[in-house]
Amino acid sequence: MAQRGDMAEALLRLVRAKTGDAGATIGAIEVLPGHAGFSYSFVLRRSDPAARPAGKLVLRVAPEGVRIAGPADVVRQAKIMQSLADTDVPVPPVLWFGDEAEFFGGPYFVDTFLDGFKLVDRPDLPAAEKRALAAEGVRLLARLHRVDWQARRAAWGDPVPLAEEMKRLDHLLDRPTLDPAAVARAPELRRRLNASLPATPQVGCVHGDFQWANVLFHGGRVSALIDWEIALLGPTLLDLGWLCFFADPDSWVSAERIRSAPLDPATIVATYAEASPRPVPEADVRWFRAFAGYRFGVITCFNLMLHRRGKRPDPTWEETALSAPRMFEHGLELLN
Residue of 75, 83, 82, 132 lying closest to 108 (CA atoms):
75
pLDDT of amino acid 34? 60
DSSP bridge pairs for 57:
42, 112
Give the pLDDT confidence of 168-187 residue by residue, as tens digits: 999 999 999 999 999 999 99
pLDDT of amino acid 243? 98
pTM value is 0.93
Give the pLDDT confidence of 138-148 residue by residue, as tens digits: 999 999 999 99
Quote the CA–CA distance of 171 and 180 in Å, as a whole number: 16
Give the pLDDT confidence of 232-251 residue by residue, as tens digits: 999 999 999 999 999 999 99
- Region label for 261, one of left (φ > 0), alpha (ψ between -120 and 50) or beta (otherwise): beta
Q: What backbone torsions phi and psi does residue 280 show, to the nearest 5 degrees?
A: -120, 90
4 has a pLDDT exceeding 70: no
SS3 of the chain: helix, strand, coil, percent, to 5? 50, 15, 35
Mean pLDDT for the stretch of residues 61-76: 82
Residue of 226, 221, 206, 208 lying closest to 33 (CA atoms):
226
Return mean pLDDT, the chain.
Answer: 93
Quote the CA–CA distance of 289 and 169 in Å, as a whole number: 16
Residue of 192, 294, 190 lying closest to 241 (CA atoms):
294
Give the pLDDT confidence of 253-273 residue by residue, as tens digits: 987 777 778 999 999 999 999
Mean pLDDT for the stretch of residues 209-214: 95
Structural domains of the chain, ranges and CATH numbers in brackets: 4-112 (3.30.200.20), 119-335 (3.90.1200.10)
pLDDT of amino acid 5? 54
pLDDT of amino acid 258? 75
CB 177 within 8 A of CB 311: no
Give the pLDDT confidence of 117-161 residue by residue, as tens digits: 999 899 999 999 999 999 999 999 999 999 999 999 999 999 999
Quote the CA–CA distance of 216 and 214 in Å, as a whole number: 7
35 has a pLDDT exceeding 60: no
2 has a pLDDT exceeding 80: no
Q: What backbone torsions phi and psi does residue 39 show, to the nearest 5 degrees?
A: -125, 140
pLDDT of amino acid 40? 93
